[in-house]
A and B are shown apart, each in its own frame.
Chain A
Amino acid sequence: MKRHLISAADLSRDDALLILDTADELAKISERSIKKLPTLRGRTVVNLFFEDSTRTRISFEAAAKRLSADVINFSAKGSSVSKGESLKDTALTLEAMGADAVVIRHGASGAPHRLANWVRGSVVNAGDGTHEHPTQALLDAFTMRRRLGSLDGRKVTIVGDVLHSRVARSNVLLLATLGAEVTLVAPPTLLPVTVDSWPCEVSYDLDAVLPKSDVVMMLRVQRERMNAAFFPTEREYSRRYGLDRERVAKLHDDAVVMHPGPMNRGMEIAAEVADSPRSTIVEQVANGVTTRMAVLYLLLGGADLGGEIQ
């Protein structure tokens, strides 16, 4: 494993399988009455969140605590960032406090990559702008593997706002590494221009793709990142790209429905679909803690590789 986890593309097939296998073992911890391991005792993990987040931050915090690491939560609101402190100065402060790992969420794509050059500890990308969210992709792959067995040759359909989605990019990269066949379905306006270079297929017709899908992953329409009209009306989007009961009926019996959350019920996914037994949405949250434990263990659990500050 590398010292940082910044992009899903950094992971070789062996790395990814090691993380998923480790997570499989760690999943048993959450069934025990004592849900704690002493492995990262004395290590400090800083959660550095420049964007709002509930599940990712709590998930990382729970993961670090279950491994006995000390956790420091930092959110940009109410910190010296609001007084104009730069990312680099914040990073140097964390460095001085002796952070062994920094989990960063930032609105700017590439911020974790910059941060990795400034701190000695490991950097884990918890979502940067519209770029990547590798631990989400890992927990999604973990969830799929638990439901479907191996991912080799499985057909995964990712539907919705791909353009603004870091989850989609990380998932496409990781799933390709793991041997799954990914199809993106979105209105042309919500696909990035470089999508041709991604290791996946593209379709504009959800109904045609659904019958052969093993997994359907719905993405949230990220209105907070939209500064132009990408589709005429929400109703039209929902009609063409939303997952409702009629569309779910086209899936084969074992197919699962996923959503990284938070959901817009009634927009990209109907409430009855989100709450159906096919849906892994709640499982994904539980698996998030386990997968992040595996990542933190593999990055921090061994010998300090002694990174140089540039």
Chain B
Amino acid sequence: MVFSLADAVSHARGSAHAVLEGPDINRALIRISHEILERTKGAEDIVLLGIPTRGVHLAQRLAAYIRQFEGRSVPVGSLDVTMYRDDLRLRPARALGRTELPSDGIDGRIVVLVDDVLYSGRTVRSALDALNDLGRPQAVQLAALVDRGHRELPIRADYVGKNLPTSKSEIVKVYLEENDGRDAVLLLKEGDK
């Protein structure tokens, strides 16, 4: 998913509408980081694992907020799930993302998976399989910036930035400063792309 800013601007003028704008995203992340601290009783054993590419940036922002609120450094990593996907055979082979685990690993930790959009749940299923090969966490939780529904597997998020009712024909696009030069979540009608 690579989009230019010009793309985004033209979408914004057309039928696309912004669901979350710059500061909204950070407000949602601030709330999620408080929820993580609350649910995990001070985030002592947690590891944040972002799913590339935007999940990793979100995980880093969450870690920064947690450090700001509690003064605790939370290990952050990235977990590429490409090799574990169930739809590999539907498209040409794709390039791999980066998998980078914190040096202490994930054994016995509470792993919080972080992704930008939760949709069918298939990415999360792949991530659970990947974790299985990497170690044995004490628990796995899921944080998503946007939950757009239409789950195809029995998976739910523990922390949600925004619940966004969508139709399957719509497209949700997440732009992040680190990757795309600005923060926004857009909802596009089919055919806009």
Stretch at the interface among B30-38, B63-71, B92-100, B116-124: B92-100
Whether A18 sits at the interface, judged by CB under 8 Å, is yes
Bound-complex Cα distance A264 to B43 (A): 58
Chain B, 106-154, CB within 8 A of any chain A CB:
129, 133-134
A25 touches which of B88, B96, B129 (Cβ 8 Å)? B96
User: Is B83's CB under 8 angstroms from A303's CB?
Assistant: no
Whether B89 sits at the interface, judged by CB under 8 Å, is yes
Distance (Å) between the CB of B50 and the closest chain A CB?
A: 16
Bound-complex Cα distance A298 to B93 (A): 5
Task: Number of A interface residues at 8 Å Cβ cutoff, please give it.
Answer: 22
* Residues of chain A within 8 A of B98, CB atoms compared: 25
Bound-complex Cα distance A283 to B97 (A): 24
* Residues of chain B within 8 A of A18, CB atoms compared: 95
User: Is B133's CB under 8 angstroms from A1's CB?
Assistant: no
Whether A237 sits at the interface, judged by CB under 8 Å, is no
* Residues of chain B within 8 A of A1, CB atoms compared: 92-93
User: Is A303's CB under 8 angstroms from B133's CB?
Assistant: no
Chain B: CB-nearest residue to A28 = B99
Chain A: CB-nearest residue to B93 = A302
Interface of B is mostly: loop
B133 touches which of A22, A32, A302, A305 (Cβ 8 Å)? A32
* Residues of chain A within 8 A of B93, CB atoms compared: 1, 297-302
Q: Are A21 and B83 also in contact (CB < 8 A) when A32-B134, A34-B133, A302-B88 are?
A: no
Interface of A is mostly: loop
Q: Are A39 and B95 also in contact (CB < 8 A) when A301-B88, A302-B88 are?
A: no
Bound-complex Cα distance A301 to B80 (A): 15
User: Is B92's CB under 8 angstroms from A302's CB?
Assistant: yes
User: Is A304's CB under 8 angstroms from B95's CB?
Assistant: no
Chain A, 32-49, CB within 8 A of any chain B CB:
32, 34, 36-39
Most B C-beta atoms less than 10 A away, residue of A26, A37, A300: A37
Chain A, 289-310, CB within 8 A of any chain B CB:
297-305
Distance (Å) between the CB of A57 and the closest chain B CB?
A: 24
User: Is B129's CB under 8 angstroms from A303's CB?
Assistant: no
* Residues of chain A within 8 A of B193, CB atoms compared: none
Q: Are A39 and B88 also in contact (CB < 8 A) when A25-B80, A32-B133, A32-B134 are?
A: yes
User: Is B96's CB under 8 angstroms from A22's CB?
Assistant: yes
* Residues of chain B within 8 A of A34, CB atoms compared: 133-134
Bound-complex Cα distance A24 to B129 (A): 21
Bound-complex Cα distance A300 to B93 (A): 8
Residues of chain A having any CB pair with chain B under 8 Å: 1, 18, 21-22, 25-26, 28, 32, 34, 36-39, 297-305
Q: A25-B98, A28-B99, A303-B91 are in contact. List 15 more A-B contacts (CB 8 A).
A: A1-B92, A21-B96, A22-B96, A25-B96, A25-B99, A37-B84, A38-B84, A39-B84, A39-B88, A297-B83, A297-B93, A300-B93, A301-B93, A302-B94, A303-B89
Q: Can you list 10 pairs linking A and B with CB atoms under 8 Å apart?
A: A1-B92, A1-B93, A22-B95, A25-B99, A32-B133, A39-B84, A297-B93, A298-B93, A302-B88, A303-B92
Closest 6 pairs between A and B when the two form their complex, measured CB to CB: A302-B93, A302-B92, A301-B93, A25-B96, A39-B83, A34-B133
